[in-house]
Structure 1
């Protein structure tokens, strides 16, 4: 049976192992474990989405799925994550990718390419962003979750 939940401190090693299988590292898991959404089946991680929040903006630090996760499950899992971020009053969500083929998938969720200068200052200061934006052919994507309403 598949279940979706947020990680606890006890999941840190499991998350580290899961990301390590894809040669991904995240040295802030111990600090940010509560911001990692897990998709599990029979106690085994099938997918992880981890983010880091700065004020009302957030950066997706990791988004990884096993081949066992079908398209419908992926769509449901990612939609659940987006709904959660909206409930947390996150206005903008950013992610970095080196895979142009993933653009179509993320555009389905209203993510669009932006220039580095368009990224909020708080996100630009994050270590994860600074390190990864320097990678060759990296694409910055942004999703506007909540729009500020003018009271003027």
Structure 2
């Protein structure tokens, strides 16, 4: 049985270790742990994470790490939970960056629309996460309006 839930302070080490195994930066996780969604198995082992970095009134999806064997249904539920969390945290928009063309259709199904880099608001474009991504890849950006 799998469970999806919002992370809490007791999860900081577990989330940081999970991200580290996937060679994903866990920098800043402690300060935004309540903005992380976790997918766990029956033994509370993390199978997937998705974090939201709050930047002003917007959120930037980050730290998406998925263990092998997590199916699309679980992934869809993980993203829907993150969108619900963003709504609960009263964010206006959610942004994401991806370097996988194949994932564009999946995100569009969740209500995200593709935007060009020069259409990103300055506070998102200048975020540390986006700066790090741009050093490694040529990502595509997407945004979703959070409905109240």
- Considering the TM-score relative to the shorter chain, is it more than 0.5? yes
- Indicate the SS of the match to 2:78: helix
- For 1:99-152, what per-residue CA distance to the aligned partner results, in whole angstroms no more than 9, with x for missing partners? 1111111111121221122112222232112221343321111112238xxxxx
Alignment of 1:48 onto 2:32: no
Q: Retained in 2: the 8 A contact 1:96–1:133?
A: no
Alignment of 1:136 onto 2:148: no
- Indicate the SS of the match to 1:27: coil
Q: Give the greater-gyration-radius structure (CA).
A: 1
Displacement after TM superposition at 1:59 (Å): 0.4
Superposed CA RMSD: 1.8
Higher mean alpha-carbon deviation, 46-55 vs 3-12, is at: 3-12
- Which stretches in structure 1 are left out of the alignment for 5+ residues? 148-152
Q: Note closer, same or farther for the CA distance 1:70–1:95 as it changes in structure 2 (3 Å cut).
A: same
Displacement after TM superposition at 1:20 (Å): 2.0
Which runs of 4 or more aligned residues in structure 1 lie more than 4 Å from their structure 2 counterparts after TM superposition?
none
Which residue of 2 is the match for residue 108 of structure 1?
Answer: 109
- Which stretches in structure 2 are left out of the alignment for 5+ residues? none
Q: What TM-score, normalized to structure 2?
A: 0.88
Q: Retained in 2: the 8 A contact 1:89–1:146?
A: no
* Matched pairs, number: 147
